[in-house]
Structure 1
Amino acid sequence: MGQRASAIERRILLFGQTNLENSILIGNVHQNTGIECQLIDVRHWRDAWEVEADHMLALVDSTSAAPERIRELVDRLHDLRAESCIAVFNVSKKHPSEQLISWPKLNGLFYTGTTYNQLCKGIENLFDGELWLPRQLMAALIERTRERPRNATGFAGILTKREKQILRLTATGATNAEVAEVLNVSMHTVKTHVYNLFRKIGVTNRIQAVNWAKDNMHELQDKEELEETN
């Protein structure tokens, strides 16, 4: 019963070639996770990926197209709503797809040779808001991006007033559409603010943002009250 409810709320879009191997793959993933899977031909993805689901994972076969085509697809998928994330699989060592882990929302990378069990375990972790990335790639990314903090004013101090409003509404469970209605702004404006605040507080999905907001709500409120008095 619980597994079926989960399948309704979650969805996997597998972008790859429409061949027997990928058909078997989505069958195995669905059987092992209970999550609905849809195979989308990577050659015709432009009009095919709009699927409604509470939480969605875009699983991209890195061998299904040239690296620049995969990058174009990931760029398009990146603009999906906050409740989605991206993973690439069938990645060989030193392949250009390894560099995609620096992108927000690309939370998973599976090398060639990953077993069905490992893939399914990684998918479950991704839906739980975790990362599934090779340790050596994570270490290299951290080393490239580390820098000395510019100030000690607290994370909430780097958010704009509008970003704080959106973060507080998000923490109540409001969707992007509901946030747009409350603030009387467009969905595009909300998505832009969500992307910026996610980058500023160092999260990649809505679950992480809500947890961050809960941990820092007191500071957010104090900053807001100070701004209003000034």
Structure 2
Amino acid sequence: MEQEKGLVLLVTANNPQSQLFIDYLHQQLDCSVSVVAPGTEWKGKDASPAVALLDADHIDEATMQQWHVRGAESSNMSLAAFNLRDEEHAVETLSAMNLQGVFYRSDSLDMICKGLTILLEGNLWMSRSLMTRMIQFFRRQQLNSYRPVCGLTHRELEIIAMLGTGASNIEIADQLFVSEHTVKSHLYNIFRKIKVHNRLQAVNWARQNLGAPPPLIGRRQRTESQLSSLHPS
């Protein structure tokens, strides 16, 4: 009965504090609640509505990207982040991945439960001011798409997008079937063209000018084991 009414997946470190949070959600929400440790593969069914609640305090960028891919592949899963510091942090996170819900550290437990209920119904949960900022952000991106992006080549655009997924030089080389030395040369040219000094600055520039990175998927068919290591199903 509970499974039919939805599922909340709390993606966070499994500790006494998170267990108290889970117990509270169990009491307040008429649905199932499960905890998934960051980096752990979740193999649940995709039959009922689900909300993956991602703990920004315990999830790195690579794990965020894995859930970004998983959410894009699922027709019934909504993604939400919680423990975000403020609206600036929310804009930064939303520019890197598609989220349907946003919760801040200052949000009360009652507010979180209300938001989860709205998300399970298939609606968005974020403030009007945040939605306005994101609309403006994507409008700027749309305008940027109609003019050259700082002279970056198609290959350089591919590489800078992969930086946003947390891919290493070796992983980028593997994806593009080039040498690691070639990737380093491309990165040097990218940094020079967009006037940044390191990978983090390049990723932030890409988020502001190119949008959320695409899922890290190879352009040739890989073996089943390689796929599962990159994209947990």
Pairwise TM-score range, normalised by the shorter structure: 0.5 to 0.7
For residue 54 of structure 1, what is the aligned residue in structure 2? 48
Corresponding residue SS for 1:79: helix
Alpha-carbon contact 2:9-2:50 (below 8 Å) kept: yes
For residue 11 of structure 1, what is the aligned residue in structure 2? 7
d(CA) in 2 for partners of 1:70, 1:114: 24
Q: Does 2:21 correspond to 1:25? A: yes
Corresponding residue SS for 2:115: helix
Deviations 1:152-175 (A, max 9, x none): xxxxxxxxxxxxxxxxxxxxxxxx
For residue 80 of structure 2, what is the aligned residue in structure 1? 87
For residue 99 of structure 1, what is the aligned residue in structure 2? 92
Q: Does 2:68 correspond to 1:72? A: no
For residue 63 of structure 1, what is the aligned residue in structure 2? 57
Deviation at 1:61, TM superposition (A): 0.3
Corresponding residue SS for 1:113: coil
Alpha-carbon contact 1:90-1:112 (below 8 Å) kept: yes
TM-score by length of 2: 0.53
TM-score by length of 1: 0.54
Aligned positions, number: 140
Structure 1 residues not aligned, in runs of 5+: 148-230
Alpha-carbon contact 1:15-1:60 (below 8 Å) kept: yes
d(CA) in 1 for partners of 2:86, 2:63: 16
Deviations 1:86-144 (A, max 9, x none): 00000002665533335775110000021111000000001112111122221111122
d(CA) in 2 for partners of 1:111, 1:24: 18
Alpha-carbon contact 2:68-2:98 (below 8 Å) kept: no
State which of 35, 60, 69 in structure 1 corresponds to 2:31: 35
Aligned letter for 1:54?
S
Corresponding residue SS for 2:102: strand
Q: Does 2:134 correspond to 1:137? A: no
d(CA) in 2 for partners of 1:94, 1:30: 28
> Does the C-alpha gap of structure 1 residues 21 and 80 become closer, same or farther in structure 2, counting only changes over 3 Å?
farther
d(CA) in 2 for partners of 1:29, 1:19: 15
d(CA) in 1 for partners of 2:132, 2:63: 24
Name the % identity.
Answer: 23
Aligned letter for 2:24?
N
d(CA) in 1 for partners of 2:133, 2:81: 18
Cα RMSD after superposing both structures: 2.4
> Does the C-alpha gap of structure 1 residues 37 and 134 become closer, same or farther in structure 2, counting only changes over 3 Å?
same
Alpha-carbon contact 1:13-1:56 (below 8 Å) kept: yes
Alpha-carbon contact 1:8-1:36 (below 8 Å) kept: no
For residue 106 of structure 2, what is the aligned residue in structure 1? 113
Alpha-carbon contact 1:62-1:70 (below 8 Å) kept: no
d(CA) in 1 for partners of 2:130, 2:54: 18
Alpha-carbon contact 2:11-2:52 (below 8 Å) kept: yes
Deviation at 1:25, TM superposition (A): 0.9
Point out which structure has higher relative CO (alpha carbons under 8 A, 6+ apart): 2
For residue 196 of structure 2, what is the aligned residue in structure 1? none
Deviation at 1:70, TM superposition (A): 4.4
Deviations 1:165-197 (A, max 9, x none): xxxxxxxxxxxxxxxxxxxxxxxxxxxxxxxxx
Corresponding residue SS for 1:85: strand
Structure 2 residues not aligned, in runs of 5+: 141-233
